[in-house]
Chains A and B, each alone.
Chain A
């Protein structure tokens, strides 16, 4: 079956996390199905940051949640150090979850409004007993005052500070992989810069491996080593950050870049690279899912789904019949 392919995956023993042919689906009522993620694969080496970009509804968050098995993907595997999380149940799964932590988009709603900030960060160590970092040390590492955190509740903090609390909560368990789902999208530019700088520092200090999801390509480029572009549940392109921005090969990546106002890149106006609106994931187009908006679409695109393949030599991969090389 034509999936998006796995040509871009590296040997299993070289990577920490490997995601293969991930499918996430949700019931949409009246017997229909939302095909949120359809055959996405990627991997992360230890210490690497992978950025995932795409527009709303393209399956970024569904992918993130499938990694931590909340909810479980319909098909595919998620291997952490060779251990397939999708085969785990109950207690075994609970135990492995602490190795993967997550930071969410909405800094306010991801904290329980009725608990004090310190209690929120302490929850992990309480549940797991020994083997966690010192709570005060982590609070200080994310730039919060432990004394204040002991008495205040989330609504007494600003959005940026709440996001620091979320980061502390994730870090205190010493996870190997941290999945950041739009961690700065709700923040102002100056606070965004503070959080991005903090993430880079912490990554160094705690030797983290990051999955960084965002819709803003400039933000993703700033933190990522490699970038995965998604469209309507499929992989379009995967490349080292600099390469992806400098030489986008997939028509959708180009459109995405061109749509960024004042990007300073030499690209035609976005309205010549993309038209219309994304189709419904309940009833995605046949063949290439981007074909309804793609200026290059040809008859083959409707018939046959493009397989991911290497281009430009090296580690640049694209899933398109007619890439721009």
Chain B
């Protein structure tokens, strides 16, 4: 558990440990007995001798609260153990076996959950007699349905994971799978719920005790103490306050611990928020704005400060882009492609990021814009399409609401006009029956259709540049073809520029005019697409091209294998970052980082560039189908 829990978690844990220890050692502590009367003057306030004061009979309130903890915690822990003990096996059975067992267990469970449980508890305790055992059993049994549901859910989610399937393929018996593959994974959510469950039970026991339906006097319980103290509210409020505060803190602590444990199992995504206070990195030799360039990116740098060190996700990237052209950014995962796009768009995780360099859109320096100004630019001048259309679309709002929103916000259209325009946009991205599609929800569309909708949204305000980050990675190849064709057509019609991020070399080969190859946050090669593909100069580009299988190669053709893997961006080796994997590396490569240089518009960062043409580059591939 190397994940940070935060101070609250540790304070809560300390409090729970303190209360548990006090309850366990109550008899050994140097305090008066809980039922010893007149150990001090009745109704006296807190003092050194009696930290919580005394009650109406002169009993020590501190001692009574400590002894009361025994009942409250005892019932809390006991009821949770009982509920878990009976509920967990049923839940695991339902979740793992599914089918008939599941149907029966869940049907019974749903009926049980529909019961008004506290009323039921009151009735049972009133009937069977108020004793510690009865209260514990009733509260424990009442918790079972919730446990069954929780454990079943967790089991189901793991039973469908591939590692469980893999175990069954190995011929592992069910009992062993449950024990070794499912239980340990279900244990974390169960533990988090156990803490929250204890808080619930402590409150429930308190309520019963307050009504006199829990353990009977003289044994103190927190709820009972509050009940007794009621009559003294005016003269001696501490008699009520002390157990109330202790109970409140205990319940709060259990909830807090449970919550933090649950957060452990959540997979959080880093938020996409316009950066608030990203510290600027020292400016490099600032290039003058190129007149006429639509988008000019200049020595852009994004460094993320993590506990492992500084991750140089984008490290000195520059390029310019004109209207009507497509620039592709290729590289393997973790090379910084997405980070580059986010940096240009000003969408960075807010904390612990420093960024440097400039982004100029028709001369305006976007890095100087306030978040509000940036939001305006994002809606109107820069369009974005991401890999997973589902994250760009709100699942509970109709397509119509979402496509019309930018039109109304940025272009100030009336509702009626926005709807007409939205229908027109959907038609332009090839969605059949646009009027009906406006009334549908994202999940009712296929992946390809959803991606068309996000493209329509990105284009709604007529952006100058469309940023597409792996727009077709989640799609089938025939649908990919349709979507890329569409982006290309729209680029022509609207005279936009396109920045296309992709890990797929063949996509880039077909659709880009210009290519940037990224490795470890840096540009290692940059040039016209045909040139880079036909005659790569940087050994990494060459190796990447030879590593990708091609249809024109014979079956069982040996692919070029690049040994090793990309460096950890928090710890990039000195010199050329590709050196540990490079077949051409020499001494100089480890000592000095090669600059990005070259002839004309073909640039590469390498001390010993390759000169050979890649064997068998397919002819006519670039112009294919356009």
Contacts and interface: CB of A to CB of B under 8 A. Distances in A.
Answer yes or no: are A and B bound together in one complex.
yes
Interface of A: 55-56, 65, 68, 70, 94-95, 97-98, 100-102, 104-106, 109-115, 123-124, 127-128, 158, 160, 166, 169, 173, 188-194, 196-197, 200, 215-219, 221-225, 241-242, 245, 255-265, 268-271, 274, 277
A97 B169 contact: yes
B230 interface: no
B553 interface: yes
B619 interface: yes
B64 to A, nearest CB: 44
A218 B173 CA distance: 38
Given A109-B162, A242-B555, A261 B169 contact: no
Interface in B419-458: 446, 448-449
Given A100-B169, A127-B170, A197-B559, 10 more contacts: A70-B165, A94-B171, A112-B163, A112-B185, A123-B170, A166-B166, A189-B547, A190-B561, A261-B510, A277-B449
Given A109-B163, A197-B559, A70 B169 contact: yes
A194 to B, nearest CB: 5
B162 A104 contact: yes
Contact of A222 (B161, B332, B482, B555): B555
Contacts of B350: none
Contact of A260 (B161, B551, B557, B560): B551
Contacts of A65: 165
Contacts of A259: 477-478, 480-481
Contacts of B550: 218, 263-264
Contact of A256 (B176, B181, B477, B507): B477
B171 A97 contact: yes
Interface string B193-228: 000000000000000000000000000000000000
Contacts of A104: 162, 165-166
Contacts of B479: 55, 277
A196 B550 CA distance: 13
Interface in B535-576: 543-544, 547-562, 565
A265 B176 contact: no
B485 interface: yes
B555 A263 contact: no
Given A95-B171, A190-B543, A169 B185 contact: no
B449 A262 contact: no
B169 A193 contact: no
Nearest to A113: B185
Contacts of A257: 551
A97 B169 CA distance: 6
Interface string B496-513: 000000011111011100
B449 A102 contact: no
A279 B552 CA distance: 31
A222 B481 contact: no
B172 interface: yes
Contacts of B619: 264
A259 B161 CA distance: 32
Contacts of B308: none
A144 to B, nearest CB: 13
B170 A256 contact: no
B333 interface: yes
Interface string B612-626: 000000111110110
Interface of B: 161-163, 165-173, 176, 180-181, 184-185, 332-333, 446, 448-449, 476-482, 484-485, 503-507, 509-511, 543-544, 547-562, 565, 618-622, 624-625
Given A193-B547, A223-B556, A55 B477 contact: yes
User: Nearest 6 pairs between A and B by C-beta?
Assistant: A264-B618, A269-B625, A261-B510, A110-B162, A193-B547, A262-B509
Nearest to B163: A112
Nearest to A186: B333
B257 to A, nearest CB: 21
A68 B547 contact: no
A225 B556 CA distance: 8
Nearest to A188: B332
B554 A242 contact: yes
Contact of A221 (B477, B555, B565): B555
A190 B332 contact: yes
A94 B169 CA distance: 8
A134 to B, nearest CB: 17
A127 B161 CA distance: 20
B167 A190 contact: no
A70 B170 CA distance: 12
Contact of B481 (A111, A217, A271): A271
Contact of B169 (A102, A158, A190): A102
Given A104-B166, A114-B184, A264-B618, A197 B552 contact: no
B169 A260 contact: no
A52 to B, nearest CB: 15
A258 B481 CA distance: 9
Contacts of A242: 554-555
B436 to A, nearest CB: 16
B291 to A, nearest CB: 35
Nearest to B548: A189
B166 A94 contact: no
Contacts of B184: 112, 114-115
B481 A218 contact: no
Contact of B555 (A100, A113, A241): A241
7 contacts: A97-B170, A189-B332, A191-B332, A191-B565, A196-B549, A223-B556, A271-B481
Contacts of B176: 127
Nearest to A65: B165
Contact of A271 (B180, B485, B507, B558): B485
A97 to B, nearest CB: 5
B271 to A, nearest CB: 22
A128 B548 CA distance: 39
A215 B478 CA distance: 11
A222 B549 contact: yes
Given A160-B565, A215-B477, A271 B555 contact: no
B556 A264 contact: no
B618 A112 contact: no
A263 B620 CA distance: 10
B555 A225 contact: yes
Contact of B561 (A100, A193, A268, A270): A193
A111 B164 CA distance: 8
A251 to B, nearest CB: 12
Given A223-B556, A261-B506, A264-B550, A101 B169 contact: yes
